Amino acid sequence: MAHKKTWNEFSAGKKVLMLAVSVVQISLTVAGYRDLAKRSADEVEGSKLAWGVAMLANWVGPIAYFAKGRKGLGLNS
């Protein structure tokens, strides 16, 4: 079995990259939840609850919500 590295074993560059990716992922999820909270159920494709759960799926959920979950915007028009 391969040895799992601890945080201290990563190079400075890898640490910066992991932090940057984490910030982008968290920002995307927060933006998705804020947008979902501000919309009425009529402005969302499907259930708001289902989209809220879907956005917990790393990158896929928030990107799917922005691409397909909002009515009358961009790809859904």
Render pLDDT for 10-46 as a digit per residue (tens, 0 to 9): 999 999 999 999 999 999 999 999 999 999 999 999 9
Which alpha helices (DSSP H) does 1-77 contain, by range? 12-38, 48-54, 60-64
Q: Is the pTM of this model over 0.95?
A: no
Q: How far apart are CA 4 and CA 1, in angstroms?
A: 9
Backbone φ and ψ of 44, nearest 5°: -120, 135
Render pLDDT for 44-65 as a digit per residue (tens, 0 to 9): 999 999 999 999 988 899 999 9
